[in-house]
Amino acid sequence: MATSDAIIKITSCSKHFGPVRAIDDVSFDIARGEFFSLLGASGCGKTTLLRLLAGFEQPTKGNIFIDGQGMAGVAPNHRPTNMVFQSYAIFPHLDVRRNIGYGLRDAGLSKKELDGKIDQMLELIKLPGFGSRAAHQLSGGQRQRIALARALIKRPKVLLLDEPLGALDKKLREEMQLELRALQRNVGITFVFVTHDQEEALTMSDRIAVISQGKVLQIDTPTSLYESPNCKEVAGFIGTMNFFDGTVKSMEEANAVVDAGPLGDVRTRPFAAKLPASGASITVAIRPEKINLNPSRPSASHNVIEGRMSAAAYLGDRSHYYVAVKGRNAPIAVAAQNVNAARSWLGGQDQPVWLSWREDSVILLDR
Amino acid sequence: MADRAGVLTSPAPIVRQDSRIQRFFLRHEWARGYALLSPTLAVMVLAMCLPVFMLAAHSFWTQNYLTIDETFTLANYEQALGWLWGAEGAKPIYIRLLWKSMQISFGVTVTTLILAYPFAYFLAFKVRRNKNLWIILISVPFLTSYLLRVFTWKIILGFNGVINSGLMSLGIISEPLEFLLYNPTAVLIVLAHAWAAFAILPIYVSLEKIDRSLLEAATDLGDGPFRRFWRITWPLSVPGVIASGLLVFIPTVGDYVTPKLVGGTEGIMIGNIIQSQFGKANNWPLGSALSIVMAIAITIVVLIFLYVMSLGRVRAK
Amino acid sequence: MSTRADAGQPVEYSPSKVVEGNRYGWLFVYAVLYIAFLYVPPLFLPLFSFNDSIYVAFPIKGFTFEWYRQMAKSTGLLDALYNSLKVGAVVCLASTLFGMLAAKAMTRYTMPGKGPMASFIMLPLVVPGIILGIALLVLTNQVGLELSLFTIGVSHVLICVPFGMLVLISRLEGFDKSLEEASLDLGVNAWKTFWRVTVPLALPGIIASIMLTFLISFDEFILAFFLAGNEVTLPIYIWSQLRFPAKLPSVLALGTLILTVTMVLVAVAEWIRRRGTATTKPTAG
């Protein structure tokens, strides 16, 4: 994305809580109108980053610019951001209308104007007629929508969402993911979305920042993040990954030949632009769904290995297999769509099987 | 992007920059916290620290009839404690009274705790609904004036009191018993009654906080009710018992109302002597010194108590 | 064996039984006796307030309203009552305010030295009253201030603030900090947020704090004894009357009245609290 169209600029920002570096020298931009996710395990610093944007915390070092304006020393109530809290923070002593209109109480609007805006918001979140409900009469999903309406009515330049779907059950969560994405396209506001759920981030986001221990590991589109992670940590965090340590033996045209120990020689067309040097220590990574499971030795001359079936899990639409390979402790994970009925040739445990994969399915990562 | 919702068409709010002072508070959470805390801290400093400091200063001065001589002297402390090292003219009365006050307070504390614990246990584990009702039930008697409550004990224990007239009408005794009132035991009974409700609450809170699954786990692992109590419930309620004990012990050492009303000459405590220094005896510096000595003595006892408890808990681990 | 497992029936083992046991066992008997021990002495107040004898002693003579009549005519008593109400009203508001400020600082901010500060504010709970009383007396005398209802009030604020703070801390901990943050986030400044969010949500705690601190001040004697000037509060008046048997029955009458009023207040407060919890309980997750 072009930096000139950045609505948020974070420049070498750090936040320390005592000796803990919750955010450690982070710099990146978020583009106008983007659905941007901060993804990471709990305690990685993603919520702290969101609170830095909202103004509840001030950075120890560095600065944050929102729409070109420095945010140092700007109180949360003076920032052009609004937030949907993890707990929704619906005011329990106010009804739905007063909750939604809370931020406009001092805006100098006439009662009619305010009522009009609140009605529009109720329409937008598909809860018309809910205005007079008391806060305690609302379900989790309704609370979530009202928290959204309450923030959106303020016309923020950036909407911050702190795991807003975490408290909902699975089915409702999937529904809300689509709805939230549609709403974001509709209103055109930049969304910064915090989540620990990688699937959620992949489904909804334009771009995702993967955060670990206060540092941003990679910022990319969902596809790039999944298909070409830039380090072992990202590769392991997003989806499942088989890792093999190896050394680069030689380069054959665009292909690298890697000696991956028990795997033998692995031929790969590196996805990433950079080509490893000969003799470099490297990690070879292959996604489970990119490995083929064969009952007999396939004809290919390379990227084939023999193993024994050690465990299988049937998940309905697909199955997961764990194949033990000589000289390697961890079994190799293989995922296969159950396009036809379950593989009839699979006899069970300890059956010999052959694994194979395409050259361009392999990712090379620094060790 | 198209704004089909139609609510976002008006211009966005303007960012306002805050003043320098506001920015300071914004940057430093501790500064905001202390700014909020400061009025309360000021009250504490002005109404507690400063007066106690003045009290300490007084204890080094001398009373000259109606005026106070502000030259530094340790004479008051010598008068209060000198008997310990055989200082000339020092009387043992203050030390003895302090010791007796400690004993009475200790007795009150132990009695109150022993009486309160089963009740708190009942409230925490046996009462399922309306716990609040029980709590209100135990606090209502304490809404009557403290003085009148102490006074009612005079009615009960007195010469023509409930116990005496009751026993006489039953023919058990022919003459009223005189040992019921005006002695240390009467002080102990009255104080134990006065602090009963206060002692229950901390114990109750610590029992209520115990995770019920711990008790179930203990039972599951083969503990009977008594073993389970001794190994789980009791150790986890010890902090509440300590809090209750301190809450009762510390204020009762300095009490002067109860001993004055039901203690007689035998039952007077250190508080009565201190009070009289600020009244009839009119020797403020000596009174100040005595109260400082009392405060230090209480602190030492409490610290020893806490130390012993901590040793016990380390061993339990 | 297999049939029992297949049926999915609960086994005899019931966790609640294990812990709670028999409800009306010996502990219940003990609790009733304990309540009796607490109640019997104060119940002599109403008994003797209607007793037709100037001596507060057995045997009971007869029924009379005389002491209530005398009480209503005693100007000293009514003045003391009025003074106590005055001091109590100011003290309960001031100490709830200071308690609220401290409670907000304690629950909503991380700051160095928070624990020691909390202990410091709670010190008056564990310092014998007599020490606080004479210390304030000494200071008042030293700075040349007159003893008055004001000095009593200051001492009462001192001992009431810890109670107010404890009550309000437990209330503020009871609701989500993000409610206040949400208000700030929606553009409402800290002062208005306090009035629009914190105060309404902490209201039950504020009322509890006001009631508790009023009752403490109203009944406080140990400090007031040292700090009273010409105007006295009710406990000091009662203390002075304990030596005059003739005045005592009307004091008992007043004690009975106060007990009745406070019991009614406590009942009303509990009723309000129950109605409050009934309507604010969420019906859906």
* Per-residue pLDDT tens digits for C26-38: 888 999 999 998 9
Residues in contact with C262: Cβ distance below 8 Å, sequence separation at least 6, in sequence order = B140, B143, C215
A32 to chain B: which residues are within 8 Å by CB? none
The pLDDT-based confidence of A83 (bands split at 50, 70, 90) is very high
Give the pLDDT band (50/70/90) at residue A364.
confident
- Tell if the CB–CB gap between C185 and A83 is shorter than 8 Å: yes
Q: Where are the domains of chain C?
A: 2-49, 66-279
Query: What is the Cα–Cα distance from C183 to A56, expressed in whole angstroms?
Result: 12
CATH number among 1.10.3720.10, 1.10.580.10, 1.10.357.10, 3.10.580.10, domain B85-316: 1.10.3720.10
Contact with chain A for residue B27, Cβ under 8 A = yes
Pull the structure tokens for residue B30: 């501790």
Helix (H), strand (E) at residue B63: strand B62-64
Looking at the complex, report in whole angstroms how far the Cα of residue C192 sits from the nearest Cα belonging to chain A. Answer: 10
Contact B16 A73 (CB under 8 A): no
- What are the chain B neighbours of A180 within 8 Å (beta carbons)? none
pLDDT in tens, C51-108: 887 777 767 788 888 889 888 888 888 999 999 999 999 999 999 999 999 999 999 9
pLDDT at A3: 46
Quick check: B8 and A189 CB within 8 A?
yes
Which chain A positions have a beta carbon within 8 Å of B12's beta carbon?
80, 155-157
Range in B101-105, B218-222, C212-216 the model is least confident about: B218-222
Averaged pLDDT for residues A295-318: 84
Contact list in A for residue B23 (CB cut-off 8 A) is: 72-73
**Residues of chain B contacting residue C211, judged by C-beta atoms under 8 Å apart:** none
Is A54 in contact with C179 (Cβ distance < 8 A)? no
> Nearest CA of chain B to the CA of C130: how many Å?
6
More confident residue, C102 or A346: C102
B&C contacts, CB < 8 Å: 245
Looking at residue B102, what is its pLDDT?
93
Residue A123 host element (H or E): helix A111-124
* Residue B224: predicted pLDDT: 80
Residue C187 CB neighbours (<10 A): 23
Confirm or reject CATH 3.40.50.720 for domain C66-279, answering yes or no: no
Q: Do B119 and C30 touch (CB under 8 A)?
A: yes
Give the percent of chain B with pLDDT over 70.
92
pLDDT tens-digit series, residues B30-53:
899 999 999 999 999 999 999 999
Q: Supply the pTM of this predicted model.
A: 0.84
Summary mean pLDDT of chain B: 85
How does residue A347 score in pLDDT terms, banded at 50, 70 and 90? low
Q: B208, B255, B264: which is closest to B236 by C-alpha?
A: B208
Amino acid identity, residue C159?
A: I
Do B193 and C41 make contact, defined as CB atoms within 8 angstroms? yes
Say what the pLDDT of residue A257 is: 81
Q: Please write down the HEC assignment for all residues of C201-222.
A: HHHHHHHHHHHHHHHHHHHCCH
Q: Which of C91, C139, C220, C250 to mutate to test the interface with B (most CBs of B within 10 A)?
A: C139
Number of A–C residue contacts, CB under 8 Å: 73
Q: pLDDT at position C23, please?
A: 54
**Cβ contact C129–B254 (<8 Å):** yes
ipTM of the complex: 0.85
Q: CB-based contacts of A109: which residues, under 8 Å, 6+ apart?
A: A117
pLDDT band at C13 (very low <50, low <70, confident <90, very high): very low
Place of tokens 């504020």: C206
Determine, for residues B137 and C35 on separate chains, whether the beta-carbon distance falls below 8 Å.
yes
Could you say which residues from 76 to 105 on chain A have a Cβ atom under 8 Å away from some Cβ of chain C?
A: 76-78, 81-83, 85-87, 89, 91-93, 102-103, 105
Q: Which of the residues A63, A65, A78, A148 would you substitute to probe the B interface, choosing the one with the greatest number of B C-beta atoms within 10 Å?
A: A78
Q: What is the per-residue pLDDT for A208? A: 96
Q: Please answer whether residues A7 and A190 qualify as being in contact, where contact means their C-beta atoms are separated by less than 8 angstroms.
A: yes
Highest mean pLDDT among A75-79, A297-301, B310-314: A75-79
Among residues C202, C209, C194, which one has the least CA distance to residue C91?
A: C209
- Rounded CA-CA distance A226/A240 in Å is 10
Give me the pLDDT at residue A14, please: 94
Q: How far apart are CA A338 and CA B33, in angstroms?
A: 60
Q: What would the mean pLDDT of C165-169 be, rounded to a whole number?
A: 93
CB atoms within 10 A of CB B81: 18
Label residue A117 by pLDDT band (50, 70, 90): very high
- Tell me the C-alpha to C-alpha distance, in Å, between residue A259 and each of A107, A230, A250, A293, C117: 68, 21, 9, 22, 64
Q: Do C135 and B51 touch (CB under 8 A)?
A: yes
Task: Give percent of chain B above pLDDT 90.
Answer: 35
Contact (Cβ atoms closer than 8 angstroms) between residue A249 and residue A278: yes
Predicted pLDDT at C234: 92
- Write out pLDDT tens, residues C234-267: 999 988 888 777 778 888 888 888 888 888 888 8
> What is the rounded CA–CA span in Å between residue C221 and residue C225?
6
Angle at C63 between CA C61 and CA C66, to 5 degrees: 105
Short-list C260, C175, C160, C176, CA closest to C213:
C160
- Which parts of chain A are beta strand (E)? 6-17, 20-31, 35-39, 61-66, 69-70, 81-84, 158-162, 190-195, 207-212, 215-220, 242-252, 255-259, 265-268, 281-286, 292-294, 304-314, 318-324, 332-337, 352-356, 362-366
| Residue B11 in this model has a pLDDT that exceeds 90 | no
Query: B-chain residues within 8 Å CB-CB of A58?
Result: 26-27
* Residue ranges in chain C assigned as alpha helix (H): 2-7, 15-20, 26-49, 66-73, 75-108, 114-126, 129-142, 149-172, 177-185, 190-193, 199-219, 222-227, 234-241, 248-280
CA distance A64 to chain B (A): 13
Q: Where does the pLDDT of residue A343 fall: very low under 50, low under 70, confident under 90, or very high at 90 and above?
A: low
B7 contact A CB<8A: yes
According to the model, what pLDDT value does residue A136 have? Answer: 87
Calpha distance B165→B172 (Å, rounded): 10
Select from B7, B18, B27 the Cβ nearest to the Cβ of A153: B7
Query: Quick check: C21 pLDDT over 70?
Result: no
Kindly state the tokens that stand for B276. 């009289």
Interface mutation target, options C32, C96, C138, C170, chain B, most CBs of B under 10 Å = C138
Contact B3 A153 (CB under 8 A): no
- Is the confidence at residue C170, as pLDDT, over 60? yes
Q: What is the pLDDT of residues A169-209, one digit of tens each?
A: 888 888 889 999 999 998 889 999 999 999 999 999 999 99
Q: When comparing pLDDT for B266 and B37, which is higher?
A: B37
Q: Do residues A122 and C268 touch, judged by C-beta distance below 8 A?
A: no
